[in-house]
Amino acid sequence: MNGELYLIGVGPGDPELLTLKAKRILAAADVVAFPQKPGEEPLAYAIAAGHIAAEAERLPLDLPIAVDRAPAQKAYDEAAALIEDRLASGLNVAYLCAGDPLFYGSAMYLLDRLKPLVGVHVVPGVTSVSASAAAIARPLAARNEIFKVLPAPLEDEVLERELHGAQSVAIIKTGRHLPRIRLLLEKSGLLASALVVTRASHGDETVTPLEAVTGDVLPYFSTILAYGGAEAWAETLAPDRRFAPSPAQPPEPTIALDPERKPAIILFTTAGAATASRIATATGGRVHAFGPGEEGAADLLPRLFAEGTPIVGVAAAGILIRLLAASLADKRAEPPVVAVSADGGHVVPLLGGHHGGNALARQLAETLGGVAAVTTASDTRFTRGLDEPPPGFVLENPAEAKQAMARVLNGEQVSIVGEAPWLAEAGYPVSDTGSVEVRVTPRADAEADLVYRPKTLVAGVGCERGVTPDEIYGLLASTLSDKGLSPESLAAIASIDIKADEPALNRVAERFGVPLRLFSAAELAEEEARLVTPSEVVRAETGTPGVAEAAALKAGTLLVPKRRSARATCAIGLAAAPIEIAEFGRARGMLHIVGIGPGDAAQRTGSAVRALSVSTDWVGYGLYLDLVADLQGRRKTHRFPLGDEEVRVRHALELAGKGRTVALVSSGDAQIYAMASLVYELLDATGERALSDAARRIAVACHPGISAMQMASARAGALIGHDFCAISLSDLLTPAADIRRRLATAALGDFVTALYNPRSGRRTELIEIAKGFFLAHRRPDTPVIVATNLGRDGERVRVTNLKDFDPQSVDMLTIVLIGSSQSRILRRGDGTVAFTPRGYDRKTEKGEA
């Protein structure tokens, strides 16, 4: 018996506008399907997510938003087939549609395909037009008035006819058609009454008179309402909504950038501070402020550019060009560089236009209420370059894009074999007889002016422990070649989770430039009925009758059954649409052990900053997390009190075991009296202290930081210029007898000695003992550096001598450095420093150092 299909309107955005009937059906549905474009958050799902049963299957469908009259037939056929399969299994399916299902929604195309086959129920929802009317508290129509809804892409002749004498009009899908609509409304006498409602019912809803709107493109979720007659339009607005050009908090734009590369916002004058702050809030980027002389920027900007970090300069374009001139080489590899005027009124993409720069400029202009001055020829006519396909697609021959674009600009049309709806959406002239040929396919033998590779292939891999990377790579490469498949269409390598730490799998994924995604044995066993070559031997070893084929089948269908080499197997799966990697299996978890230095942002290493930037979660003592709060953005923090070190580190490891990228934050250097050694201790633990298997298989990277010992020496000269050692005086983890023995050895051995954790309220004797040991072996005038709160508010650094050093003047936020017999004090005009000569005055003729 077939299941039932429910087409549910979830409203325009506010989850509270979801109907009671919709909530009831969602709570009971076996499968919840929804449209989702690759790389974008699904709006309909986000609205309804809180009412979907936890056990219900989530079924995202890649359904294009096309501007030509016919939607992409193949995509809707495939989506309908996926839904029909589940209905045939007796499952009830709820399909979510923003607004109302039958009001310019994707649901109507599914209805056409499925209504003759199954029972279909439609649950209406609040439309964006109704929500827009509610935003301005004005009826759409009253008494005998005629209300019209007009899509902006209609021909000018049709729009002009419908607007003439209109009493009440809603214009939707305006987008880049705004200049035309503005002129037609003016011609019909409706411009003065027209209001733009953006993101109706959302928390950042805005209402703006159309005459006050700058720029030539409206945000996607915008509706224009206009009324005929002589009524003073402003009087229809509630007083607190009248002529509000933007919300108090700017909406977050969808920046088409690598999420691991948030932009660096460069600021040279205080005049642009407010604009820089708004950009940082909208993008999650970090503001780097410099003085008018550009001091420091000359070093930072080339480094950021070389790392591929997008740069947004709230500055004159000339400054950015001058600072980056020596770094310009390959335009195909340069990141976005955008100049923004201090008032935010003008946004100019300077570099990397086709690598997200033009899109970033437009979205910043939208956020700031300014104008994006895009100058690349393609982007003045089209909203996307031919060499910048959307996420999930790769242009195989980018060198040909320039010539193809020139032909299009000269009037030639584009013909497409495969699915590339974004070309029509971007405004390209698409025709079945077009002379600029485009092919979208994973087939390696494709020939066309432009060949786009959809990321629809998944290589499932099984292997023996210790197999070489070359063996797996050779097996995959030959399989793809033999079957005529392009490696550019490979979206992921997939395997069973017990292989997460298999070096060969990770190396091969890196060589192909794709992620390694993992599934549990239970998840792979779900594909048993579809396996071509199940194996009881594999089941006995792994808990599932197949690894390679089962992992490949997670993509959708099995394109190439299992093939073997001596120690590995592989199979190729094919997805109906580009793989959304974030929703496909799990990543191998990653733990970054990060030393942030003493506290001053200027003392952080680039490696530490990058590790914090790419992590999804930060774990650490609350004070340490506060020291890097300027980098936090939208990352989740897991704060722990002082102490609880093992609980803290275990939490970080288990969190990474769930596939997260975690930063375990320590002050100073994480290797020195911090968390790094405890990480490895727990990875090695057995019995009651043992970690989960998933946590033990994560990747670990250490990022050293500047230690308090280094910082103290640097602040007061160069005391650790020769042999030195460090000793912690905390007896919580080390017996006091061991500490005393080490102190005596350091004093006798004439080491420069750094004393960590010198004194607490409970522990006062060991620092006194230390002074005594060193006085027994050193001169009374031996240099001593006492440094407190290094790199933080209240920093104090002073140079004294061993005789005058007062052990009662220190605490747990202090580090003490005691010099060797060779250390000296140097009094200069600007202060006193301490240093330890290495002996260069005795350097031999052989040049030994």
Per-residue pLDDT at 233: 39
Residue of 613, 632, 616 lying closest to 624 (CA atoms):
632
pLDDT digits (tens, 9 = 90+) for 659-680: 999 999 999 999 999 999 999 9
Q: Phi and psi of 826, rounded to 5°?
A: -120, 120
Asked if residue 698 and residue 753 are part of one domain, the reply reads: no
CATH, residue 531: 3.30.420.180
Asked if residue 569 and residue 476 are part of one domain, the reply reads: yes
Of 531, 566, 586, which closes a domain?
Answer: 586
CATH, residue 174: 3.30.950.10
152 alpha carbon, distance to own chain's centre? 33
Higher pLDDT, 230 or 639: 639
Of 98, 126, 154, which closes a domain?
Answer: 126
pLDDT at 248 over 50: no
The CA distances from residue 798 to 795, 807, 825, 826, in Å, are 10, 14, 12, 13
Strand-pairing partners, residue 617, are 636, 662
pLDDT at 753 over 60: yes
Asked if residue 594 and residue 532 are part of one domain, the reply reads: no
250 domain residue, yes or no: no
Average pLDDT over all residues of the chain: 86
Higher pLDDT, 643 or 697: 697
**Interval 427-455 mean pLDDT:** 94
pLDDT digits (tens, 9 = 90+) for 675-721: 999 999 999 999 999 999 999 999 999 999 999 999 999 999 999 99
Is 0.85 surpassed by the pTM of this model? no
Asked if residue 499 and residue 444 are part of one domain, the reply reads: no
Per-residue pLDDT at 660: 93
**Interval 22-29 mean pLDDT:** 90
- Determine which helix (DSSP H) or strand (DSSP E) holds 404, and give its type and residue range: helix 401-409
Asked if residue 735 and residue 625 are part of one domain, the reply reads: no
Asked if residue 368 and residue 268 are part of one domain, the reply reads: yes
- 3-state SS track over 25-57: HHHHCCEEEEECCCCCCCHHHHHHHHHCCCCCE
Residue of 734, 761, 632 lying closest to 677 (CA atoms):
734
Tokens of 390: 């959307």
CATH, residue 99: 3.40.1010.10
Please count the structural domains in the chain. 7
pLDDT at 130 over 70: yes
Question: What is the three-class DSSP state of 371?
Answer: strand
**Interval 334-352 mean pLDDT:** 88
Asked if residue 447 and residue 433 are part of one domain, the reply reads: yes
Q: What percent of the chain has pLDDT over 70?
A: 91
**Interval 612-624 mean pLDDT:** 91
Q: Phi and psi of 264, rounded to 5°?
A: -95, 125
258 domain residue, yes or no: no
Per-residue pLDDT at 244: 34
Higher pLDDT, 39 or 272: 272
Tokens of 250: 């700017």
Give dist(CA 394, CA 452) in Å, integer. 5
191 domain residue, yes or no: yes
The DSSP code sequence of 480-535 is HHHTTB-GGGEEEEEEEGGGTT-HHHHHHHHHHT--EEEE-HHHHHTTGGG-SS--
The DSSP code sequence of 824-847 is EEEEETTEEEEE---SGGG--TT-
Give dist(CA 242, CA 659) in Å, integer. 48
Asked if residue 629 and residue 572 are part of one domain, the reply reads: no
CB 347, CB 373: distance < 8 Å:
yes
Question: Is residue 68 very low, low, confident or very high in pLDDT (cuts 50, 70, 90)?
Answer: very low
Asked if residue 138 and residue 91 are part of one domain, the reply reads: no
Per-residue pLDDT at 509: 95
427 domain residue, yes or no: yes
281 domain residue, yes or no: yes
Give dist(CA 418, CA 454) in Å, integer. 10
Asked if residue 135 and residue 202 are part of one domain, the reply reads: yes
Asked if residue 825 and residue 714 are part of one domain, the reply reads: yes
849 domain residue, yes or no: no
Question: What is the three-class DSSP state of 116?
Answer: coil
Domain hosting residue 689, numbered range: 589-706
580 domain residue, yes or no: yes
86 domain residue, yes or no: yes
Of 706, 736, 764, which closes a domain?
Answer: 706
pLDDT at 329 over 80: no
Asked if residue 564 and residue 494 are part of one domain, the reply reads: yes
